[in-house]
Homo-oligomer: A and B are copies of this chain.
Amino acid sequence: MKRHIFLTRREVHLPEWRTAFPAMEARPHAAADERLAPPGGALLWLHVDNNVKNPEALVESIRKATPGCAVVVLSNVPHDDEGLAVLEAGAAGYTGALAVAAVLRNIEAVIANGGLWVGPDLLQRLLVALGRHAGRSARGAARLDRLSPRESEVARAVAAGATNKEIARKLAITERTVKAHLSQVFAILKVRDRLQLAIYLNGLPKEAQSRILH
């Protein structure tokens, strides 16, 4: 069972949180307090309100002080920009401090599976905003693929900035296999390493990409 540690300055929400995780612990979070490093694997719930100026910096320092612990931010005044900021700072989740117990438990489950929790609203905003300027990929027109399907997946992941380890996890194969595919891709596209591959693919117009990627 995972440990749940709630970092907060106020106690108003503790009863509700406790209904979600009866075995929870609460700590006041002062700047110095982060050095009481919880054991790796614990889940840290960071409560922020209007008094916290920049939660993202707080998240960063906490994550640095407690490697291996996921941090979820509970905001008194949830706001998309704030959520975006803390998630970029490395938080694994962002939601309102008033979230009901069921939601908290869901967040825990999602994070336990390596996911990130983003509220529906923020996610929707992300989707539309990205969809607008990422454009529709010309699919269904896949032809003349010079790369095999598997090679394409790996190439795409590299073009997105992933490491071999990440790709391996994502495709559920070993790192060795990723390397094998990548070596093949390098040879086919005549690039010397992943950096040039990424530059090459990202610099290509979408139509050209789908001609070489499956």
Contacts and interface: CB of A to CB of B under 8 A. Distances in A.
Interface of A: 50, 53-54, 77, 79-82, 84-85, 87-88, 98, 102-103, 106, 109-110, 113-121, 123-131, 133-141, 149, 153, 156-162, 166, 170, 172, 190, 194-196, 198-199, 202-203
Contact of A123 (B81, B118, B120, B133): B118
Given A84-B131, A126-B127, 16 more contacts: A80-B160, A81-B134, A84-B134, A84-B139, A85-B137, A88-B131, A102-B113, A106-B106, A110-B110, A121-B160, A126-B130, A133-B133, A161-B195, A161-B199, A198-B198, A199-B202
A77 B151 CA distance: 12
Max chain B C-beta neighbours (<10 A), residue from A77, A102, A133:
A77
Contact of A198 (B85, B157, B199): B199
Contacts of A156: 79-80
24 contacts: A50-B149, A54-B139, A54-B141, A79-B153, A81-B139, A84-B135, A84-B139, A85-B135, A85-B139, A88-B128, A88-B135, A98-B172, A103-B113, A106-B106, A110-B110, A118-B118, A118-B123, A129-B133, A133-B133, A158-B195, A195-B195, A195-B198, A198-B198, A202-B202
A77 B135 contact: no
Contacts of A106: 106, 109-110, 113, 115
Nearest to A199: B161
A176 to B, nearest CB: 19
Max chain B C-beta neighbours (<10 A), residue from A102, A160, A170:
A160
Contacts of A127: 84, 87-88, 126
Given A114-B120, A149-B77, A82 B139 contact: yes
B123 A116 contact: yes
